Amino acid sequence: MVTIATLGEFALIERFFAPTAATLPTGVVLGVGDDAAVLSIPRTQQLVVTTDTLVEGVHFLPDADPLLLGQKALRVNLSDMAAMAAQPHWYLLSLALPKETPLTWLEGVVNGLRQAAVRPGGEVALIGGNTTAAPLGARSITITMLGLLGKDRAVTRGGAQVGDRIWLSGTIGDAALGLAAARGELTDLDEADRLYLTGRQQLPDPPLELARALQDSAYSRAAIDVSDGLLADLGHICRASKVGARLDLHKIPLSEAARRQVAGQGDALWPALLAGGEDYELLFTAAPSVQSQIEQLATQFGVRLSEIGEVVAGSGVEVSRDGVTLPMAQQGWDHLR
Ligand code: ADP
Ligand code: MG
CA distance 160 to 238: 8
Residue among 28, 131, 141 to mutate when testing ligand 1 (max atoms within 8 A of CB):
131
Q: Are residues 123 and 208 in the same domain?
A: no
Look at residues 116, 150, 184 and tell me which one is the last residue of a structural domain: 150
Is 308 inside any structural domain?
yes
User: Could you tell me if residue 214 is inside a domain?
Assistant: yes
61 band by pLDDT with thresholds 50, 70 and 90: confident
Kindly report the number of other CB atoms within 10 A of residue 262's CB atom: 16
Residues 118 and 251 in one domain: no
Q: What is the pTM of this model?
A: 0.92
Neighbours of 171 (CB within 10 A): 21
Pairing mode, if any, of strands 125-133 and 87-97?
parallel
Judge if 170 and 318 occupy the same domain: yes
Instruction: Give the pLDDT score at 40.
Output: 97
Residue from 130, 132, 140 whose mutation best tests the ligand 1 pocket (most atoms within 8 A of CB)? 130
Residues 322 and 187 in one domain: yes
Residues 190 and 312 in one domain: yes
158 within a domain of the structure (yes/no): no
Is residue 111 in some structural domain?
A: yes
Q: How far is CA 78 from CA 198, 260, 282, in A?
A: 20, 30, 11
Residues 122 and 170 grouped into a single domain: no
Q: Are 169 and 146 found together in one domain?
A: no
* Single residue among 118, 150, 182 that ends a domain in this structure: 150
DSSP-derived secondary structure letter, 32? B
336 is a domain residue: no
Same domain, 144 and 171: no
Give CA–CA dist 326/270, Å, rounded: 10
Range of the domain at 37: 4-150
**pLDDT tens-digit readout, 143-161:** 999 999 999 889 999 999 9
- Shared-domain flag, residues 244 and 322: yes
Does a structural domain hold residue 107?
yes
What is the maximum alpha-carbon separation in the chain?
A: 64
Ligand 1 binding pocket (C-beta < 6 A) is 13, 17, 32-35, 93, 95, 126, 128-131
Could you tell me the CATH number of the domain that includes residue 38? 3.30.1330.10
Residue 221 forms part of a structural domain: yes
Pocket test for ligand 1, best of 17, 92, 94 (most atoms within 8 A of CB): 17
Q: What is the CATH number of the domain that holds 214?
A: 3.90.650.10
- Residues 234, 131 within the same domain: no
Do 24 and 118 belong together in one domain?
A: yes
The domain boundary residue, chosen from 89, 118, 150? 150
Asked whether residue 100 carries a pLDDT value surpassing 90, the answer given is yes
Cα 155 to its chain centre, rounded Å, is 16
* pLDDT tens sequence across 283-299: 999 999 999 999 999 99
Residue nearest to atom 22 of ligand 1 (CA): 129
Give the number of whichever ligand sits closest to the CA of residue 34. 1
Q: Are residues 136 and 190 in the same domain?
A: no
The pLDDT-based confidence of 11 (bands split at 50, 70, 90) is: very high
Query: Considering the domain boundaries, does residue 160 fall inside one?
Result: no
Residue 334 has pLDDT above 70, yes or no: no
Virtual torsion, Cα 275, 278, 279, 283, nearest 10 deg: 80
Angle at the Cα of 136 (from 135 to 139), degrees rounded to 5?
90
Q: What does the mean pLDDT of the chain come to?
A: 93
- Tally the domains of the chain: 2
Collect all residues with Cβ–Cβ distance below 8 Å to 251 and sequence separation of at least 6: 306, 307, 308, 309
* pLDDT tens profile 298-327: 999 999 999 999 999 999 999 999 888 887
